[in-house]
Amino acid sequence: MLDPNQIFILFASLVGFPAFVASAVNAAKYFKLLLPDQAPKAVFWLTLIGFVGVAVAYFTGNVNVLSQIDAQLGGLALFITTFIAFVGDLGLAKVYHAGLRGAPVIGKSQSLEDAQKG
């Protein structure tokens, strides 16, 4: 017999899905596709969609698929987080370069000195 209370237990056991939701919303905010004040609403709707998906899987007898999907979403969350960190580091490199330009030893530019000599 199907017990609807099991849906809550199944949904609470997911790890990859909430990680995916968090990373996707943060990526959307980072790329300005989502305003910061819109984030809670986006998380709510994505979570609701995930809960309905778990319910559909439960009532159709496809519970074993949930762990596979959850693992895939966890991997996708890791990729999104790593990608955002990479893009952020690229932007920080420009800031660091501008801050260190002209500093003794660290900010030295061999190509600039060669251009001034020649």
Amino acid present at 109: S
Distance of CA 56 to the CA centre of its chain: 26
Between CA 68 and CA 45 the distance in angstroms is 22
pLDDT for 48-90, tens place per residue? 999 999 999 999 999 999 999 999 999 999 999 999 999 888 8
Residue 57 exposed, middle or buried by CB count within 10 Å (0-12, 13-18, 19+)? middle
SS3 81: helix
Q: What is the pTM of this model?
A: 0.75
Q: How confident is the model at residue 91 (pLDDT cuts 50, 70, 90)?
A: confident
Query: Across residues 107-112, what is the average pLDDT?
Result: 58
Q: Which of 36, 60, 59, 56 minimizes the C-alpha distance to 48? A: 56
Structure tokens given for 100:
């260190």
Alpha carbon of 100 to those of 9, 10, 19, 49, 58: distances in Å?
53, 52, 37, 48, 58
The answer to whether 13 and 67 are in contact (CB under 8 A) is no
Q: Where are the domains of the chain?
A: 5-87
pLDDT for 2-52, tens place per residue? 898 999 999 999 999 999 999 999 999 999 999 999 999 999 999 999 999
Q: Given this model, what pLDDT does residue 29 score? A: 95
